[in-house]
Amino acid sequence: MKRYCLMDVGSTFTKGCWVDTDHVGVLAWASAPTTASSDINEGIQNVLNKLKTIYPDFNYESMRLCSSAKGGLRMVAIGLVEDLTLKAARMACANAGAKLVGAYSHKINLQELKEIEHLKPDIILLSGGTDGGNEEVVLHNAKQLAKLNTALPILYAGNKSCQDEIQQILNEAKHDVRISANVMPTYGVLNVESARDQIRACFLEQIIEAKGLSALSTIVQDIIMPTPASVLDALSLLAYGTKDEKGLGDLMAVDVGGATTDVYSLTSNQAAPSGVQIKGLIEPLAKRSVEGDLGLRISAKHVLDLDSELHENEDLCRYVDRITQEIHGTSNSSFDIRLASSCVKIASRRHAGRLEQIYTPMGLETIQYGKDLRTVKTLIGIGGPIVYADEPSLILSQVKQTEADILLPQSLEFILDKQYVLSCLGLLAKTDPEWTLKTMKHHLEKING
């Protein structure tokens, strides 16, 4: 028997669950407001106290934690071409659980350098050029980054031919330089695993302390990772299963929070349909995208700006003005449903691939950009704005395909993560996959699509 206390420290709420890996299921679950503005440990202790109240014999051998508090893991990605190396860099950031706050292609100029300074990223991912390809642009960008006034962790994941020179340039500028495999070693080939692992390692080594989370080491005995990385681990296990326990197959998940909306897709095949040609990068089977301008509290004003229909409702606008200032204030369920629906609709369309028809000397051709999700049958709703909504299916239905050129699912079964188990259980996905998969299946709840 091994008992764990699993914690997810979010931007607005801290969730915790108590599990015993000898028994399928969660023994107890509790939540409390995140105390990021004072001391994050206070919110964690409030959750622990609630768990002790539920179960007087509450005890555990190990605590594991994931966190997206204090803005999560903030990253800037720099690449050579928008649809190639920069897109690969974006995917590496997203799959590592980061929030991309800035993205730049080609040679960065002094104005863009000032923007990067202003964004205050936790990590910069510098990429560009296939192995043996373009060196000029990545060397230029390394020299520009050397001018930054603040020393930052910089991960280089570009053309290996100039690794040594780039490391020397950035080291001399006192940056903490990391090197990983090229995110696009050959044209159109994606390789984000090495960069993803380096980003997570940097999060553990430096970012925790930079965000004032280092005191957690006194109570957390084991894994600490960005929350989206834990969710992606959980969803990968849920989709693909294990040797002895079958997964659910291809699926999508959408997580609406106070600051961001995350979309995940886990698929088993990316072959193009007959008569369709794929252009650009072939995207990974397990993909996450994060939309930092879509959320129900911190980012609610951005949602209004993007959805003109919402902006026409004066009562809704006044509501948004209030909740962006009082994120734990009283909610209006009907307004939250409208905001969440807009977040899900916009985010899912940004995540999915699309079709374009072009005329060529050979006649009309159909081109596919991005990921084809039309055959996905399962959608999981995550996050309070969805699971606590009076009509969660209304929010989730925004993921369905309505435009022929947007490659979203055509029919879906909806599942809710009502007890917030995915982010917590993802912390055990790699060390105890059989138990984790069975427990996720036990707690996820199907609703009518």
Across 157-162, average pLDDT? 95
Residue 138 confidence (pLDDT) above 70: yes
Helix (H, G, I), strand (E, B) or coil at 140: helix
Whole-number Å distance between alpha carbons of 430 and 276: 37
* Alpha-carbon distances of 260 from 57, 367, 385, 425, rounded to whole Å: 37, 30, 12, 21
> Within this chain, do residues 301 and 400 fall inside the same structural domain, yes or no?
yes
Highest-confidence segment of 182-186, 249-253, 256-260, 289-293:
249-253
Highest-confidence segment of 33-37, 72-76, 228-232:
228-232
Ramachandran category for residue 212: left, alpha or beta (phi over 0 → left; psi -120 to 50 → alpha): left
Residue 379 confidence (pLDDT) above 90: yes
> Within this chain, do residues 218 and 242 fall inside the same structural domain, yes or no?
no
Write down the pTM of the prediction. Answer: 0.82
- CATH number, domain with residue 172: 3.40.50.2300
> Within this chain, do residues 343 and 199 fall inside the same structural domain, yes or no?
no
pLDDT band with cut points at 50, 70 and 90 for residue 293: confident
> Within this chain, do residues 140 and 239 fall inside the same structural domain, yes or no?
no
- pLDDT recorded at residue 413: 96
> Within this chain, do residues 184 and 257 fall inside the same structural domain, yes or no?
no
The tally of domains found in the chain comes to 3
> Within this chain, do residues 238 and 283 fall inside the same structural domain, yes or no?
yes
pLDDT tens digits for range 364-376: 888 888 899 999 9
Residue 182 confidence (pLDDT) above 60: yes
- pLDDT recorded at residue 106: 94
CB 270 within 8 A of CB 285: yes
Whole-number Å distance between alpha carbons of 261 and 82: 22
Residue 305 confidence (pLDDT) above 80: yes
> Within this chain, do residues 201 and 218 fall inside the same structural domain, yes or no?
no
- pLDDT recorded at residue 18: 94
